[in-house]
Amino acid sequence: MGFFSRLMGGSDEQKTAASEFEILAPVSGELVHLEDTNDPAFSSRAVGDGVAVVPQEGTVCAPVSGTVAALFPTEHALGIMSDDSSAQVMLHIGIDTVKLEGKGFHALVAQGDHVDAGQPLVEVDFDAVRAAGFDPTVFVIACERSENSTLREHASGPVAVKEPVVWLSE
């Protein structure tokens, strides 16, 4: 059973994608590979594969079109099941930001909502996150995907919101 399935108590069935599937940057900023981040769970890829972006702006956007499968009460993390069920993508905003108990985060969507790729999801006061001593890095993780899929990542460096940063293919 997969990450969101365990979280939400659902089944682990997934459809397979016939073509390449793009995951977009949720914010503009500096893309870094997971192994270069300061969070052991993400840098070891224990949570899943993907990338991270050190943000320049305060609105986090949907990396894929789909349904908000999970929205944590602190609004610092959410999961989206893609429309074609080829991937379940988690966004985690900041390192240890759960300790902020939602301060500096304002969700624009609710669990169960359908979202379009690029749609604003969460407004974040990244200055407040930094001032509180937290790393604001936004993680984009493909938590569940077809076992036969391959994942390709964008090179490190500047990225713009809505720019493809991860590609999944069969």
Annotated catalytic residue, options 33, 76, 92, 106: 92
Q: How far is CA 46 from CA 35, 49, 80, 151, in A?
A: 11, 8, 19, 15
92 is an active site residue: yes
- In three state form, how does the secondary structure of 11-60 look? CCCCCCCCCCEEEECCCCEEEEEHHHCCCHHHHCCCCCEEEEEEECCCEE
CA 113 to chain centre: 16
Q: Nearest 5 degrees, angle CA 154-CA 155-CA 156?
A: 120
Q: Nearest 5 degrees, angle CA 85-CA 32-CA 110?
A: 40
Active site residues: 92
